Structure 1
Amino acid sequence: MKKRLSVLFSLMLVLSLFLSACGGFQKGDESAGEKGKSGDKAANVPQELHINIKTEPFSLNPGLANDSVSSNVLNQTFEGLTRIKNGKPELAMAESYEVSKDLKTYTFKLRDAKWSNGDPVTAKDFEYAWKWALDPKNQSQYAYQLYYIKNGQAFNEGKAKAEDVGVKAIDDKTLQVTLENPTPYFLELTAFYTYFPVNSKIAQKNPKWYTNAGPDYTSNGPFKMVSWEHNNKIVLEKNENYWDAKNVKLTKIEMVMVNDTNTELSMFDNGELDWAGMPTGQLPPDSLPKLKEEGKLHVQPIAGVYWYKFNTEKPPLNNVNIRKALAYAIDRKAIVENVTKGEQIPAMAAVPPTMFPENKKGYFKDNDVKKAKEYLKKGLQELGLKDVKDLPPITLSFNTDDQHVKIAQAIQDMWKKNLGVEVKLENAEWAVYIDKLHSGDYQIGRMGWLGDFNDPINFLELFRDKKGGNNDTNWENPKYKQLLIDSQKEKDPEKRKEMLKQAEAILMDEMPIAPIYFYTNTWVQKDNLKGVEMSGLGDVQFKWAYFE
């Protein structure tokens, strides 16, 4: 069933680069159809899901979270104005909405919903959460995701006041949002965790409400957190106060933190896990060929990229030719065939081919050692060094993980063999590692980026501002920045696409990042587990999941 305003939504999508990506708009209560699908089949089967999330989440405050581990928890426990299902945004906390003629003001009517402790979910909870994330004193890495809102960036940069931000609770059930520019994918953005509400009544009383399970950790999604053993396990249970609880079949989700891929697969084989692999965990790369041969392996290309970030303020990575030499000397085909083995696509571009199909080819040739040596020679000359032997060892950092280790070791060998560059490897647990990257305490660091919404700008805007929340490279280019700003105002889809391609060309020429491969999700699951919602962006939702 289409929503009454689907015609208006379709008109909005004319501005979008990818019409089919957003599609129509579905009603949130359409999930009632799931009852007939699972219904009695699930009645006599224990509805408890056991998964692995590998490591401790960075933060379970939607305004501070900035990683997939946190996302995998928050997407089960919280809910925004919309929710993504079958690749399309559907109504969630919002019961209806209206859009102004200039497509810049949204007025959302909230449904009758409660927090897990019984408090009503109000428009003020949304206004509070969004302004809290934008408040510079809270240092939200994802504040820039709210820059689409009028004066959001100005407030975050200390150039405007909180009351100037274009989000306002008109009354308990009415939220008015004014944007800087028409944003065709705004209803996808409101499904992202930075746009989740927070129980303002509790958060104002207890600023550390989100650090432990307990009466103050309230959420508004299909599940609630009942225990959090740090660095060990998180347990969720069905949230009986959730507005759509009748369509939630799982009664419990146990999330263990096992950061060893072989152990994860063994736990699955032993029946301790119902799901092993991405996007919550990871399978051992060496196991993938056999699992595929046995017909157990699930593989799904997603809008995500694995890359190395260069700290462009740390010598010798402050030299563009050194960066290009290192990027060109990587044999990506060898990595995906011999190390990752998950049908990943070698990446010679920043934006995944799911958004820019031409990026399967990319901006440079894979494993171009000849060109890499030319850039190295030029870079050494610019640094006043006679020979590569005069170049101090470069430190390559990554978070503790079997696959990251193997990729780093392979690239370390390639840089030594192809360029004569000495590389030291450094690993750290996730929380420590991400802090080091954000504080600039690294030379080269690995990172993955999964699309937050289905538009190329989500991959390019990361590097728009030197001090942008998730940049870490300290790179900034005025022309690049202006192209992204102008693209936000361009109504012609083809002209906008060309602007974004020009920006990507600048990024790939100055190389603050070295793309390695485009992601696929690879996993195994119990045969009777049904209804898991996997998006093309690589995230997972268990709202509709059940055991048959």
Structure 2
Amino acid sequence: MKKSKSLLLMIALVLVIGTALAGCGGNKANNGNTASPTNAAGNTNTGSGDEKLAADQTLRLNMSADVPTFDPGQAQDSQSNVALKLMYEGLVRIDKDGKEGPGVAEKWDISADGLVYTFHLRDSQWSNGDPVTANDFVFAWKRVLDPATVPAPPYAQQLYYLKNAEQFNKGEIKDFSQVGVKAVDEHTLEVTLNNPTAYFLNLMSFYTYFPVHKSVEGNEKWATDPKTMITNGPFTLTNWITGQSVEYTKNDKYWDKDDIKLNKITATIVNEASTEVLSYKNGEIDRAGAPNGDIPPDQIPVLKNELPDDFTLKAIASIYYYEFNTKAEPFDNAKIRKAFSMAISRQDIVDKVTLASQVPAFGYIPPGIKGASEGSEYRNDYKDDFFKEDYTEAKKLLEEGMKEKGYTTLPPVTLIYNTSEGHKKIALAIADMWKKNLGIDVKTENQEWGVFIKNRQNGDYQVARAGWNPDYNDPMTFLDMWKTGNGNNDIKFDNAEYNKLLDDAYKEVDNTKRMESFHKAEEILIKDEMGVMPIYYYTQVSLQKPYLKGLVSQYDGTVDYSKAYLLEH
């Protein structure tokens, strides 16, 4: 899901305070110059003077929201991503350098035409001792694509790279053996693609492609009870009190268990950012902030000065935006959507509200995402200049849109956001701008994470806060979510030209032509239709104790806790 890359303009905004390298949402802690510890049980020197492992290898965190699902086939959010990457392992893992490395597959072969991948699986086990086989991947992928699976997996389209996967998912093909995945034997998985896909190996680390144990068949509630969750990753879920806490324990059946130093990871579930920071200061947790936690914006300047060795602010390849439900009044009119987007000041939001050096966004694809050539970035090749903030023009567009809709007054508008002090402050600031610049009263409403996600999925909203972390390093991950029928298409966007541009990009081998298709699609999404309202490109803030090491940060802000360890302190 993640590779490392964020240069030029974004690099200029990166503030690394002190010696800690903890990324703010994707966190990194001294995983560059010190050797990894080799003995989880003793006081082995870790390669940095007299540093030694702590006797108690329990990492303590906070999560700002509960995990909506522990089912890899149903997941689609950041909290699930953190949990599932502890509990499961795919064919490939992303290493500390952002490169694809061996996971369940110890090696692979790629055909000369780039269409056939043959994965050779190592001897590995599920947490109950059963062997992990190629058939477990076939079973899991079929489960995601099967049109009979209820609820329908939101990320089924992520598997459309496989030959005939889309046709099977849509019921046009009934025989799954025609889909491009088969178990040659227990240790060999053969995957056939529709088209060469440069980032396909990267996708093999994404949770929708994780294997699932066959014991889940016929048990609809298997992912709600730790006792029925048989997993193959570095940790197992051993305790879960909904809305209060989760506990992960080292999986002694994991093939690479000798390289896992933590014995446990415990996390409270508290959605008050100020409480999380207080817990950190009181020594109750070892890390605070993104990606799984939160820090109040108004505390950022204070914490930077108060805890310089713990504080990090990092630019990442992600975007913060608002979604318009294009099928709900009044936002089923493009002029009204454009008016709302043009009537705010993004610079004021990042300077006076968020306070974390974010970059105002006037496009959808952020800096840090790969471009056409090696070492290039899409955002450097195609500027995000799809619209301008213009309050006079916004009022004019609003009047025109209302006339087209036959409105004398605008229907009541509600903006929803998931519970967070930061999201609340942004929502209130934007609502105030809409009132001042458009004369519109907008109600703001916070919702618990699980409820919020379902309401967006079901289209039960008008305007909603959103953010997107890439699933892989390519513009496609930001744009294909708005294709008609995509499980992540919460805005209910339906544009035939947009769909065709992305279909063409799927098939195109010439990377320059692919990027041109992406640019045209982004122009339709933002300039022509304003299906979403870009606000800013993310930075992430975190606090990390100096004795916490080994976390792996990625270009998009995600963090891998599995190789972390604690030093004596």
Shift of 1:287: 0.8
Matches within 5 A, 1:232-311: 232-294=244-306, 295=308, 296-311=310-325
Shift of 1:37: 10
Shift of 1:473: 0.9
Residue number among 483, 493, 496 corresponding to 1:475 in the alignment = 493
Shift of 1:359: 8.4
Secondary structure of the corresponding residue to residue 226 of structure 2: coil
Secondary structure of the corresponding residue to residue 348 of structure 2: helix
Report the counterpart of residue 554 of structure 2 in structure 1.
535
Residue number among 155, 158, 162 corresponding to 1:145 in the alignment = 158
Residue number among 193, 211, 214 corresponding to 1:197 in the alignment = 211
Q: Are 2:236 and 1:217 equivalent residues in the alignment?
A: no
Residue number among 405, 408, 414 corresponding to 1:383 in the alignment = 405
Secondary structure of the corresponding residue to residue 415 of structure 2: strand
Q: Are 2:126 and 1:115 equivalent residues in the alignment?
A: yes
CA contact (8 A) 2:53 2:566 kept: no
Distance 2:557 2:483 in 1: 23
CA contact (8 A) 1:345 1:360 kept: no
Secondary structure of the corresponding residue to residue 237 of structure 2: strand
Amino acid aligned to 1:429:
E
Higher relative contact order (CA 8 A, sep 6+): 2
Q: Deviations over 1:30-83 (max 9, x none)?
A: xx9734599534444321100111111110010001100111111111110001
Report the counterpart of residue 7 of structure 1 in structure 2.
none
Identity rate of aligned residues, in percent?
Answer: 45
Residue number among 409, 413, 417 corresponding to 2:432 in the alignment = 413
For normalisation by structure 2, the TM-score amounts to 0.87
CA contact (8 A) 1:142 1:469 kept: yes
CA contact (8 A) 1:347 1:360 kept: no
Q: Deviations over 1:92-121 (max 9, x none)?
A: 110111111221111111000001111111
Shift of 1:425: 1.5
CA contact (8 A) 2:53 2:565 kept: no
Distance 1:364 1:181 in 2: 31
Matches within 5 A, 1:73-112: 73-85=83-95, 86-112=97-123
Amino acid aligned to 1:494:
T
CA contact (8 A) 1:80 1:190 kept: yes
Q: Are 2:367 and 1:353 equivalent residues in the alignment?
A: yes
Amino acid aligned to 1:312:
T
Q: Are 2:391 and 1:369 equivalent residues in the alignment?
A: yes
Distance 1:169 1:459 in 2: 31
Shift of 1:485: 0.9
Q: Are 2:207 and 1:208 equivalent residues in the alignment?
A: no
Distance 2:323 2:68 in 1: 20
Distance 2:300 2:123 in 1: 46
For normalisation by structure 1, the TM-score amounts to 0.90
Q: Deviations over 1:455-488 (max 9, x none)?
A: 01100001011x2100111111111111111112
Q: Deviations over 1:415-451 (max 9, x none)?
A: 1100112211122111111111111111111111101
CA contact (8 A) 1:351 1:359 kept: no
Shift of 1:137: 2.8
CA contact (8 A) 2:54 2:566 kept: no
CA contact (8 A) 2:63 2:269 kept: yes
Counting helix residues as a fraction of each chain, which structure ranks higher? 1
CA contact (8 A) 1:304 1:519 kept: yes
Report the counterpart of residue 485 of structure 1 in structure 2.
503
Shift of 1:377: 2.1
Matches within 5 A, 1:426-441: 426-441=445-460
Residue number among 45, 49, 72 corresponding to 1:40 in the alignment = 45
Q: Which blocks of at least 5 consecutive residues in structure 1 are unaligned? A: 1-17, 19-31
Q: Are 2:73 and 1:69 equivalent residues in the alignment?
A: no
Q: Are 2:481 and 1:462 equivalent residues in the alignment?
A: yes
CA contact (8 A) 1:307 1:448 kept: yes
Q: Are 2:511 and 1:506 equivalent residues in the alignment?
A: no
CA contact (8 A) 2:85 2:207 kept: yes
Residue number among 68, 76, 85 corresponding to 1:58 in the alignment = 68
Amino acid aligned to 2:225:
N
Q: Which blocks of at least 5 consecutive residues in structure 2 are unaligned? A: 1-6, 8-33, 47-51, 370-377
CA contact (8 A) 1:392 1:422 kept: no
The range that moved more, 252-261 or 376-385, is 376-385
Distance 1:149 1:523 in 2: 38
Secondary structure of the corresponding residue to residue 136 of structure 1: coil
- Number of equivalences: 512
Amino acid aligned to 1:40:
N
Amino acid aligned to 1:425:
T
Shift of 1:221: 0.8
Shift of 1:361: 5.5
CA contact (8 A) 2:322 2:532 kept: yes
